[in-house]
Amino acid sequence: MLAPRPFHHLARVPMGVPRSEGHLPSMTRGFTLLELSVVLSFMGVLAMMGGGVGRGLVDLLECRTAREEIAGLVYRARAEARIHGEARVRLNEGAGGTLILAGDSVAHRVDLRGRGIQLRIGGSRTEATLVFGPLGVGRAASTTLYLERGRARVPLVLSSHGRVRR
């Protein structure tokens, strides 16, 4: 009498897997938990190391943006002086902001303290006022401003005639 043959040779095997005796399909795709943990911890270390560089770049960009706002404020003050006959730009370290005074009213204000930027005025002064006459020409001495946030420090030079140098 013939012994019955097992039917395992008739079983369906997924495509791509070689058909052989005793072969079980193995996991060919994916990652183990250990591999994922190592990669994620390595990415975390890299992110922590790069965080300081990113913060310094953000500080520098904020200072440059504030510098351009103050330069725009000076240009606007010159235009306001031509319209109203006189305009003043008041720079104050303690107040943390600058403003244009056209006549007796405040025409425009820049808030530096709200963005964490410290305004420093060159020399030993803590306050400076730029006065522009009816032709838009300044009547003050040259002033150097420093905008600081974190380790970033950006200069801005305001000439006596109201010209801005970055």
Asked if residue 129 lies in contact with residue 121, where contact means CB atoms within 8 angstroms, the answer is: no
- Give per-residue pLDDT as tens, 35-92: 999 999 999 888 888 777 778 889 999 999 999 999 998 888 888 889 888 888 888 8
Q: Report how far Cα 57 is from the mean position of its chain's Cα atoms.
A: 6
Q: What is the pTM of this model?
A: 0.66
Beta-bridge mates of residue 89: 100, 130
Q: Name the average pLDDT for the chain.
A: 81
Q: Which CATH class name applies to 52-165?
A: alpha beta
Which residue(s) pair with 127 in the sheet? Answer: 92
Q: Are 98 and 110 in contact (CB under 8 A)?
A: yes
Q: Which residue has the higher pLDDT, 93 or 152?
A: 152
54 three-state secondary structure: helix
The total number of residues shown for the chain amounts to: 166
Q: Say if residues 138 and 160 touch (Cβ distance below 8 Å).
A: yes
